[in-house]
Structure 1
Amino acid sequence: MRTWLSQYIEAQHKALDSVPLDAVERLIETVRQAWNEDRQIFVIGNGGNAASGSHFATDLGKGASDVAGRRFRIITLADNVAWLTAIGNDYSYDDVFVRPLENYARPGDLLIASSVSGNSPNLVKAVEWARAKDLRTVALVGAKRGRLAELAEQTIVVDDTHYGRVEDVQMTIYHLICYAFMEKKPA
């Protein structure tokens, strides 16, 4: 067990070290621009990425907003279970994120999609729609990159394919964004 634990942690360090800091810095500036322009920020993901998106929306919407002195307008589209399941049941699971975007998104808003594979049909469809409607788009993906990496305006790739490690690093990226506002003075 000890050997496996050590190997896992070593691989986790390698995945974390693969994060391009210039891309994270650019993403922080994109979030700052959305905040400065009072844009809506939408976060989407499935499974663990849905949970990480909820965590990110909480930290940015509460913690960073408290420190920044002005509120972030951020929401994750995976948190309304009734709406999500109604769309999945009545239309298609591929529509669970694009349908709420049709209700709420406006040109210039920001959509952040996180996925390990980068190929989740519901995320791809939402990013395609967002691009067509002039939203800013960001993808956080694993080493497989997938279709999201091709579609998004900005992409941050975690150089690993292990779901747990990639999701952990994506959560670190979310925390870096939040703490850039909580521990640094907004520009």
Structure 2
Amino acid sequence: MESYIKNYFQKQQDTLAGIPAGQISEIIEKFKEALKSDRQIFVIGNGGSAANASHFITDLGKGASDKTYRRFRCLSLNDNVSWMTALGNDYSYEEVFSRQLANFGRPGDILFSMSVSGNSPNLVKALEAADELGMYTISLVGGKVGVLGEKSDLAVVIDDLHYGRVEDAHMGICHVICYAFMENEALQKEN
């Protein structure tokens, strides 16, 4: 068992080492622009990525916002269960995010998606809705890349197919984004 555990963590370290820092820097710059222009940031995912979306918004909306000159306007579209079930029941599960964006999304806002496969139908539908609304789209995906990876304005591909390692890498990226605003004075001030 110890050999399995060591091997698992070695593969996790290799996956984390492959995260493209330049693209994460681009995301931080987009978030800086969104903060300055008071744009909304929407985050979505399914399964473990839904939990990551909620966690990310908690850190961005509270932790990072406590340090910046203005609070991030951010929302996980996974977190209103009543609305999601109404949309899924009355329309389809593929529309649970796109229909929320129809209420909230505005040109210049950001849609941030997380998906290991990059092909979740409800995330793809949300991406299409965001494009129609003139939003900027960012996706974190796994090694399969999928539609999200191919069609987002900015896609970060974690070159691994293991769901646990990819989801851990996605959450690591989310933490880096938040802590960039919490720990760098240059990002905390309006300039």
Range into which the TM-score falls when normalised by the shorter chain:
over 0.9
Give me the whole-angstrom Cα distance separating, in 1, the residues matched to 2:124 and 2:147. Answer: 7
Instruction: State the shift of 1:150 in Å.
Output: 1.0
1:30-45 correspondence to structure 2 within 5 Å: 30-45=30-45
- What does 1:88-127 correspond to in 2, within 5 Å? 88-127=88-127
2:151 paired with 1:159: no
Q: Distance in 2 between matches of 1:37 and 1:104?
A: 16
Aligned-pair RMSD on alpha carbons? Answer: 0.7
Q: CA deviation at 1:106?
A: 0.4
Cα deviation, residue 69, structure 1: 2.8
The Cα offsets for residues 18-53 of structure 1, whole Å up to 9 and x where unpaired, read as 110000000110111111110000000001111111
Q: How does 1:7-86 map to 2 (within 5 A)?
A: 7-86=7-86
Cα distance in 2 for partners of 1:28, 1:85 equals 32
Partner of 2:148: 148
Question: How big is each residue's C-alpha offset from its partner over 1:77-134, in whole Å with a ceiling of 9 and x where there is no partner?
Answer: 0000000011111110000000000000000000000000000000001001111211
Amino acid at match of 1:109: D
In the TM superposition, structure 1's runs of 4+ consecutive aligned residues that sit over 4 Å from their partners are none
SS at match of 1:119: coil
Structure 1 CA distance for aligned equivalents of residues 66 and 46 of structure 2: 28
Percent identical pairs in the alignment equals 55
Report the Cα distance in structure 2 between the residues aligned to 1:119 and 1:136, rounded to whole angstroms.
Answer: 18
CA deviation string 1:55-82 (max 9, x = no partner): 1101010011111131000000000000
